[in-house]
Structure 1
Amino acid sequence: MTAEAAERLIEFPALKEAQGALDAKRKELHDIMTEAGPEFDMAKVKSISGDTQAKVAHMRALNEAIEERKSKVDELLIVARSAAIAREQEAASEKGAESGTRRGEGGDGTRTKDGRRRSFGEMFVGSQACKGYVRGSGQGPQAQLDVDLKTLMTTLTGWAPETTRTGRVEEFPTRPAPDVAELIPQTTTNQISVVYMEETVFDNTAAETGEGDQYPEARLKLEEKSSPVRKIPVYLPVTDELFEDEPRAESYVNNRLPFMLRQRLDFQILRGNGTAPNLVGTQNVQGILSQPLGGDPVPDALYKAMRRIRDTGFAEPSVVFITPAKWEPVRLLRTADGIYIWGHPSMPGPATIWGVPVKETTAAPATSALLGDYANFAELAVRRGIDVQVSNSHDDFFIRGKLAVRADLRVALIHYRPSAFAEVTGL
């Protein structure tokens, strides 16, 4: 569109009126915000009567009116542009006719000067629809092309649109990791087993005696304990082409396999049965305390387990592991008049019960809660962290163009003081 045609848009009466109405509303809203100042103090606004709520409601109404008028102006701009383009083309046609310009033999523009029928592309490029189209306007002049086309060309029968896949990979819904391991103190070891001494007898006979009387004899006994290093492995077969043709595939596999190991480790920490090559999880440690739910509410049973840990294990519980399904009724406990006991739903902060942090995880037993002083009496000794390797030497992978991606870790899990841990059963 020429500059002259663009100037004519402003002269379009309906457009000019709509633009003026839009500018007026914009100025009214601007003046109100200027009155309010940078602090948006509605008390300073004198151009609107009423309290703060009334003034804010008036500003919302102004904003809605601005949006409506803006849409109207946009519609009129499209109409005005189309009209201006049509006038330009009409003037150009008249000028061409006066100078004797011919569209082609027969005057219909479908043939060239030498009598050859114009191609679809030639007719389209020379048409008013192409020449008069303004990018971004949404509309333009129409033109009829005389084309012998038997089959309608669509996205189904002609040229399918190209689609580009996004970079997002939506992972399978599964338990996040690590839920549990992050709450266990971690150390390193270069041995195949963590060996330590446990005091199994502590007979304190200290007592007051008279002058010359025999001292009471105390008794202590130590036993050697050990926790073997166990390996948790996993592998995944892939083809050579997958890693060659999809740049992100290698990093995807290298991330998911370690995730699987950490997820399994969480399960083993809480529920490993101790039968080689399993770790001994908290639930299966010999000597941990057991507190049945019985007829108690869940919070009461948890408190009793905590009290027993303090009385018997002389330890302070650092965390409670419980499944989301079993924590839900605790979190939703309400008084008779509907007040949430464990805090309002909008209350921020981590979940706690009796001051002890709660970790909701599906790695916990389905019908039990495990708790204890993991901070002081549990340890995860790492012999080797997660190691990822790739090889084609497995089976017939070399001649079939396959790769085996494997990952593993080696750790030992120790519960130094069994009585510092407890299981609440029967949930």
Structure 2
Amino acid sequence: MTITFPALDEAEGKLNHVRKSLADVFAEAGETLDMDKVKSIEGDSAAKVEWIRAKNAEIDELAVKVEGLREVGKAAQKAREGEKGDRPAEPGDERGQRDAGTKSIGELFTASQAYKGRQGSSGPEAHLDVEVKTLFQTTAGWLPETTRTGRVVPFATRPIQVIDLIPGNTTGQAAVVYMEETTFTNAAAETAEGGTYQEAALALTEQTSPVRKIAVWLPVTDEQLEDEPQARGYINNRLPFMLRQRLDGQILTGNGTAPNLRGILNTVGIQTQAKGTDPTPDAVYKAMVKGRVVGRAMPDAVVFHPTNWQDVRLLRTADGIYIWGSPSEAGPARIWGLPVAESDAITLGTALVGDFGNFSELTTRRGVDVQVTNSHGTFFIEGKQAIRADMRVALVIYRPAAFITVTGL
């Protein structure tokens, strides 16, 4: 639920006003961004571009202010409702687990009976529960000991780019079940004395988002595991990263057919805004307006494919002036005040505008669970260990209309 109070309403109103004024200028300039067509701003092209940059900076500043006020409002509401604040942590409570101090997977693994007691015909198993959204770096394997520099060059692979846009929660069930208001007929009307009241209608529909498992395993030799610091780093990094990378892509493009999650782009009810002949910023702004007017939401982020964001970053006026800042500047990673997440998991030519904070949720049934044994196949006589990792999560899109794809980029 979006939290509102006077200061937030005022800041959001000012932000939307500045966004509208900048959108009007882009509309005047047309698809070719010809500054000579812009009559609402005085001066030459350079002066008009400086005005646009100033408005962009003002939008970014106001957007950050609005984000901060929203967090303050949410914190105030939680304080009023006493949300989890008046009770001690219960078993399985994620808060209690964090307060107790989070150990890394490698530390848990090397301290476990599975690692210490792996001698014998069948090594024991260890179940290590770790939160899904912990940040991991990457590493690789080690050859027999030799003099090395200590530097490990990670394999070139897609980073985690979308997970942190989605709020997290936990569940003890096999699915997340919730009620959606699917009928809202507001018949409220002015009524004369003694007149008949108009009948309204409300209806709720039960919705379900199933928990899905993402899993991977890796064979490792006893020799690698005997070097404890390297084994710790190895387990810490690669397997959890593989799981989270797969989850990152499923959030966007999962097809929903078991055992896949249903990603946002394949969720029934999301909206679409075609770019057509509009400049990309105009199309994104129109998508934001659809999110507010049809979805009754406040978009808080945009996901671009890096190649499509490149086109935005390189936008120039008809006489060659860069809109998003000169090549000597980093340039803002925002558009219309919304933070931009670059992900090559999204379909090239498509961007996603959405209210991720209020109408999506990544619910964890079980975090990253690691098990190890030498009882797989002939691993015992080959001196190998089988290490497997998995997690169980559900992706919930509470209001599909709060998400809008921008196509044809």
> Same-fold call, TM > 0.5?
yes
Distance change >3 Å, CA 265–CA 350, structure 1 → 2: farther
* 1:167 corresponds to: 150
Aligned mate of 2:209, from 217, 227, 231: 227
Which structure's CA Rg is the greater one? 1
| More divergent stretch after superposition (372-381 vs 287-296) | 287-296
Percent of aligned pairs sharing the same letter? 64
Partner Cα separation in structure 2 for residue 184 and residue 250 of structure 1: 29
| More divergent stretch after superposition (338-347 vs 289-298) | 338-347
* 1:314 corresponds to: 296
CA displacement at 1:347 relative to structure 2: 4.0
For residues 347-403 of structure 1, give each alpha carbon's deviation from its aligned partner in whole angstroms, at most 9, with x where no partner exists: 457511111111111122222111100011001111111122211122222232211
Partner Cα separation in structure 2 for residue 202 and residue 246 of structure 1: 61
| More divergent stretch after superposition (258-267 vs 245-254) | 245-254
Partner Cα separation in structure 1 for residue 316 and residue 251 of structure 2: 33
Aligned mate of 2:350, from 351, 368, 373: 368
* 2:395 corresponds to: 413
Give the counterpart letter for 2:380 in structure 1.
F
Give the counterpart letter for 1:167 in structure 2.
G
Give the counterpart letter for 1:175 in structure 2.
R
TM-score by length of 1: 0.60
For residues 15-42 of structure 1, give each alpha carbon's deviation from its aligned partner in whole angstroms, at most 9, with x where no partner exists: xxxxxxxxxxxxxxxxxxxxxxxxxxxx
Aligned mate of 1:236, from 218, 241, 263: 218
**Equivalences for 1:381-400 in 2 at 5 Å?**
381-400=363-382
Partner Cα separation in structure 1 for residue 400 and residue 229 of structure 2: 49
Bigger relative contact order (CA 8 A; separation at least 6): 2
**Aligned-partner SS, 1:266:** helix
CA displacement at 1:406 relative to structure 2: 1.1
For residues 115-140 of structure 1, give each alpha carbon's deviation from its aligned partner in whole angstroms, at most 9, with x where no partner exists: xxxxxxxxxxxxxxxxxxxxxxxxxx
CA displacement at 1:259 relative to structure 2: 0.7
**Aligned-partner SS, 1:393:** coil
| More divergent stretch after superposition (400-409 vs 335-344) | 335-344
**Aligned-partner SS, 1:386:** strand
Give the counterpart letter for 1:402 in structure 2.
K
Partner Cα separation in structure 2 for residue 407 and residue 350 of structure 1: 38
**Aligned-partner SS, 1:315:** coil
* 1:380 corresponds to: 362
TM-score by length of 2: 0.62
For residues 200-244 of structure 1, give each alpha carbon's deviation from its aligned partner in whole angstroms, at most 9, with x where no partner exists: 010101101111111000011100001111111111111112222
**Aligned-partner SS, 2:385:** strand
CA displacement at 1:345 relative to structure 2: 3.6
**Aligned-partner SS, 2:283:** helix
1:284 aligned onto 2:282: no
**Aligned-partner SS, 1:248:** helix
Please tell me whether the aligned partners of residues 194 and 228 of structure 1 are also in contact (alpha carbons under 8 angstroms): yes
Distance change >3 Å, CA 376–CA 302, structure 1 → 2: same
Please tell me whether the aligned partners of residues 284 and 406 of structure 2 are also in contact (alpha carbons under 8 angstroms): yes
**Equivalences for 1:221-370 in 2 at 5 Å?**
221-244=203-226, 247-347=229-329, 350-370=332-352
Partner Cα separation in structure 2 for residue 164 and residue 246 of structure 1: 17
Give the counterpart letter for 1:320 in structure 2.
V
Q: Which runs of 5+ in 2 are unaligned?
A: 1-145
CA displacement at 1:250 relative to structure 2: 4.3
Give the counterpart letter for 1:340 in structure 2.
Y
For residues 317-340 of structure 1, give each alpha carbon's deviation from its aligned partner in whole angstroms, at most 9, with x where no partner exists: 111101110110111111233322
**Count of matched residue positions in the alignment of Structure 1 and Structure 2:** 265
Partner Cα separation in structure 2 for residue 374 and residue 255 of structure 1: 27
Partner Cα separation in structure 2 for residue 169 and residue 249 of structure 1: 14
**Aligned-partner SS, 2:323:** coil
* 1:205 corresponds to: 187
Partner Cα separation in structure 2 for residue 376 and residue 247 of structure 1: 41
Aligned mate of 1:176, from 140, 144, 159: 159
Partner Cα separation in structure 2 for residue 193 and residue 225 of structure 1: 10
RMSD (Å) for aligned C-alpha atoms: 1.8
Partner Cα separation in structure 2 for residue 265 and residue 350 of structure 1: 28
For residues 79-99 of structure 1, give each alpha carbon's deviation from its aligned partner in whole angstroms, at most 9, with x where no partner exists: xxxxxxxxxxxxxxxxxxxxx
* 2:50 corresponds to: none
